[in-house]
Structure 1
């Protein structure tokens, strides 16, 4: 059974008295907070907060630059947040996902920066929107069928109005990538506080065990399904689809707020009919209107599939592990998995 990590404002209740909330920003401790002797860690958005708090529990104060429930792609920083970057002991981000944070890091020159894009396999995006990497099965004993390669019509990432470079940034939706992020975070924290390095390594190992259990639940839960295709409001689930041999049909591209063209809506409807789709997934931080319209036209169900770019008050769980398990439950029901 997965250990439940309740989502604190920071890692320790004792540290909470030292925290303030910046206008327009996420939960903050702020570097230089009185007698606090832990490490001040700044992260770009929620999954990185979850990892930093889990790996550094007891020794870090984590500042999430994205306010709970806000859209992480569109982060804008306050002057206070800009100043805090230069004082932080460690900043963790994914370069290309939040351009405002990338630019601020260049200006503020923090002591230590962990760019997650340097520690996980970032999947390149083809002009047709599919992941360009060749699939390699990391676990030979996973009794999966060979993955279905999405056709150009079945995935949709390009032309979404956001600059993510040539790569899909949503790496955290594959739990095995979160293992790599946890290990890299432990290393970075250990470099910032060598005396505590062994503790960070041990915490990362504990988190890895939970993430491995989560991954095994997805492997088992999605092994035998009536269909492998699923429809989402925006194409955030490419890594999850690749890992578990599914095919994502995104109504929108990488941007959750870009309006799909009439042609794209028609294409999604055609694919939904062709693959016997039962459910159109939407997310809690973006209007479900388009997803509901498509589902209504086809007389399909709607349900939440959370991309976990943030942890909204409406999230189906208090942390990454709980929300991902809720996603698994939703996918199993939609795809007729046994």
Structure 2
């Protein structure tokens, strides 16, 4: 069992005002909350149960954003609803765009919605990338192996389609924004948020630093627990509702073979449904996973008269209570729900 993220940090008697922090989505908000434990709470901008695709801020959320000292979001590829409000923010606020952070591993978007031929291509490269490093020092290993983004733009091919970001600008449409579903990326986020909070609020530096250390240790345990949880299911094929999970897939060597939709906001047509039914038969997929943010009708149509189960995966934690424990619960639930549906009757 994973211990409580950053619990046990004593409440401090800070001299200055608590930093005002606004965070876009629940999984990232939870990581920020774990760093702020004992000092204050961050504002969650997006309502739970909503999708960042097409979301609109309420006036109260816009006001919170405008007052924030630190704003944390994933980037333009996900929270399009934040682009204009961020342009109008107060001048002295700090914006942390997570897809731009040094140390974040970015994966290229998959456009076809069918990855049967790619399902295991990453295994060999992933093993090579981490060879000789324990889970506790994988982060430092990634830092030492960052690729120059300019080299990527010049045509250098990354066989495993990993890009280790160095705070350079990039084409947001090229990369999958669901970066928080990698625990190694979550560790990078936690460390950087801690550094930013120490800079903004040095009176509470010791609390932030202690919370970062506790959270990083808990994330290492969570990763080991998840590895054990999915052990034995790495080669079991399945389909997801939309392509939100490849960071999770690659970190745990899983075998998703396609997604029901290419664009979560657009229903697949009859031709695509027919193609996906062929994929299910050919690849002997065990499960299709729907998502709570979207109506399940298309998944039910796809599964009709096929020997396949329907499960549910949620990349955002639509039904979770916000707080420092939400990220752990989200990731554990992904493992639980994945295995539950893949388990043969």
Q: Per the shorter chain, which TM-score range?
A: 0.7 to 0.9
What secondary structure, in the 3-state scheme, does the structure 2 residue paired with 1:58 have? coil
Match of 2:130 in 1: 139
Match of 1:270 in 2: 278
- The answer (yes or no) to whether the contact 1:172–1:178 under 8 Å persists in 2 is yes
What secondary structure, in the 3-state scheme, does the structure 2 residue paired with 1:49 have? helix
Taking the aligned partners of 1:279 and 1:66, their CA distance within structure 2 comes to 30
Taking the aligned partners of 1:233 and 1:142, their CA distance within structure 2 comes to 34
Distance change (3 Å), C-alpha of 1:110 and 1:257:
farther
Taking the aligned partners of 2:333 and 2:81, their CA distance within structure 1 comes to 31
What secondary structure, in the 3-state scheme, does the structure 1 residue paired with 2:46 have? coil
- Aligned counterpart in structure 2 of residue 323 of structure 1, from 297, 315, 330: 330
What secondary structure, in the 3-state scheme, does the structure 2 residue paired with 1:225 have? coil
Match of 1:123 in 2: 107
What secondary structure, in the 3-state scheme, does the structure 1 residue paired with 2:20 have? strand
1:211 is the counterpart of 2:219? yes
Shift of 1:332: 2.4
Residue by residue over 1:53-75, the C-alpha shift from the partner in whole angstroms, topping out at 9 and shown as x without a partner, is 11111223211110111112222
- The answer (yes or no) to whether the contact 1:227–1:335 under 8 Å persists in 2 is no
- Aligned counterpart in structure 2 of residue 290 of structure 1, from 289, 294, 298: 298
1:103 is the counterpart of 2:94? no
Taking the aligned partners of 1:104 and 1:12, their CA distance within structure 2 comes to 35
Match of 1:62 in 2: 42
Taking the aligned partners of 1:331 and 1:165, their CA distance within structure 2 comes to 28
What secondary structure, in the 3-state scheme, does the structure 2 residue paired with 1:113 have? strand
1:3 is the counterpart of 2:3? yes
- The answer (yes or no) to whether the contact 1:279–1:295 under 8 Å persists in 2 is no
- The answer (yes or no) to whether the contact 1:227–1:336 under 8 Å persists in 2 is no
1:234 is the counterpart of 2:242? yes
Shift of 1:256: 2.6
What secondary structure, in the 3-state scheme, does the structure 2 residue paired with 1:72 have? coil
1:90 is the counterpart of 2:70? yes
1:112 is the counterpart of 2:94? yes
Match of 1:81 in 2: 61
Shift of 1:182: 0.7
Distance change (3 Å), C-alpha of 1:314 and 1:118:
closer
Residue by residue over 1:151-202, the C-alpha shift from the partner in whole angstroms, topping out at 9 and shown as x without a partner, is xxxxxxxxxxxx9622110011111111111111111111111122232121
Aligned pairs, number: 290
What runs of 5+ residues in structure 1 fail to find an aligned partner? 14-34, 144-148, 151-162
Structure with bigger helix share is: 2
Taking the aligned partners of 1:226 and 1:166, their CA distance within structure 2 comes to 27
Shift of 1:125: 2.2
Taking the aligned partners of 2:294 and 2:16, their CA distance within structure 1 comes to 37
Taking the aligned partners of 1:116 and 1:209, their CA distance within structure 2 comes to 21
Distance change (3 Å), C-alpha of 1:276 and 1:333:
farther
- The answer (yes or no) to whether the contact 2:292–2:314 under 8 Å persists in 1 is yes
- The answer (yes or no) to whether the contact 1:311–1:319 under 8 Å persists in 2 is no
Shift of 1:239: 0.9
Correspondences of 1:156-195 after superposition (within 5 Å): 165-195=173-203
- The answer (yes or no) to whether the contact 1:281–1:305 under 8 Å persists in 2 is yes
Distance change (3 Å), C-alpha of 1:44 and 1:209:
same
Residue by residue over 1:292-324, the C-alpha shift from the partner in whole angstroms, topping out at 9 and shown as x without a partner, is 22223314221111112x432699xx7221232
Taking the aligned partners of 1:36 and 1:259, their CA distance within structure 2 comes to 51
